[in-house]
Amino acid sequence: MATNIKPRVRMPATAKPGEIIEVKTLISHVMESGQRKDAAGKLIPRHIINKFTATFNGNEIMSVDWHPAISANPYQSFMVRATESGVFEFTWFDDDGAVYKSEHKVTVS
């Protein structure tokens, strides 16, 4: 399943100093809850993204631990502050050990 997983992030590329900007993120993922059964009545094993983090120039802004109650193709939006130009990095951690990253440069002027 790990082949077609693609993180998408929408945020402005430029901002005024101190401006509060909204980041919208979406990642395609089945988020298999571990509660469902397949046609043969066997439980489908849990396979979710269990953690999301947002950092700015390496400093953590926020992180979330996700549980199976998060919908498929998890959407997450939140606020960040543009204090200086730099790089926002968003990271998703999969149950199977895979890590998906997305980097976004923001220029503050």
Partner 1 sequence: MTIASDARSRRNFLKLSAVGAAALAFGVAPAAAATPEVDALISKFAEGKKVSEGRITLDLPSIAENGLVVPLNFEVESPMAADDYVKSVHFFADGNPNPQVADFTFTPMSPKAAAQLRIRLAKTQNVIALAVMSNGDVYSAKKEVKVTIGGCGG
**Interface with partner 1 by CB under 8 A: which range of 2-10, 58-66, 90-98, 100-108?**
58-66
Q: Which is nearer to partner 1, 35 or 107 (CB)?
A: 35
Q: 């402005």: which residue's tokens?
A: 12
Tokens of 49: 């993204």
Strands 49-56 and 14-15: unpaired
**Contact string 13-52 vs partner 1 (x = CB under 8 A):** -------x------------x-xxx---------------
In the bound complex, what is the minimum distance in angstroms from residue 79's beta carbon to partner 1? 4
Among residues 5, 9, 68, 86, the one that binds partner 1 under rule CB under 8 A: 68
Asked if residues 68 and 48 have their Cβ atoms less than 8 Å apart, the reply is: yes
Strands 99-108 and 14-15: parallel
Return d(Cα 47, Cα 51) in angstroms, integer. 12
Among residues 3, 40, 42, 59, the one that binds partner 1 under rule CB under 8 A: 59
